[in-house]
Amino acid sequence: MLISILEIIGVIIAVIWASGVVYLLSKGRVFKWFYHNILGWHLPSDKLQEFDGCSFHAHCKICGKEIMQDSQGNWF
Ligand SMILES: [Zn+2]
């Protein structure tokens, strides 16, 4: 059995890195799910926002639906 200290450190770093990635991904998903499905707000894509003289139109990043911005700045 020849396991070097470097290998052990490498495994520990890989585990910490992997758990951090999983944490960030799940946090992002929970945030989107909460924001999108609980509050009922959509996330506008950064591009293709149009102003029709009354309100802004865009497409939702998550579901792709056409959405409009209300006077409070929320997308629905
Ligand atoms: Zn949506």
Question: Are 16 and 47 part of one and the same domain?
Answer: no
CA of residue 39 to ligand 1 center, whole Å: 11
pLDDT band at 1 (very low <50, low <70, confident <90, very high): low
- Domain ranges, residue 3: 1-28
pLDDT for 17: 95
Confidence of residue 74 (pLDDT cuts 50, 70, 90): confident
Whether 23 shows a pLDDT value over 90: the answer reads: no
Residues 42 and 63 in one domain: yes
* Averaged pLDDT score across all residues of the chain: 85
Cα 68 to ligand 1 centroid, rounded to whole Å:
11
Ligand 1: centre distance to CA 36 (Å): 6
- Hey, how many other C-beta atoms are within 10 angstroms of the C-beta on 58? 20
Cβ partners under 8 Å of residue 65, min gap 6: 42, 59
Q: What predicted TM-score, i.e. pTM, was given to this entire model?
A: 0.51
Distance 31 CA to ligand 1 centre (A): 13
Report whether 44 contacts 59 (CB < 8 A): yes
| Number of domains comprising the chain | 2
- Read off the pLDDT of each residue in 32-40 and give the average, rounded to a whole number: 82
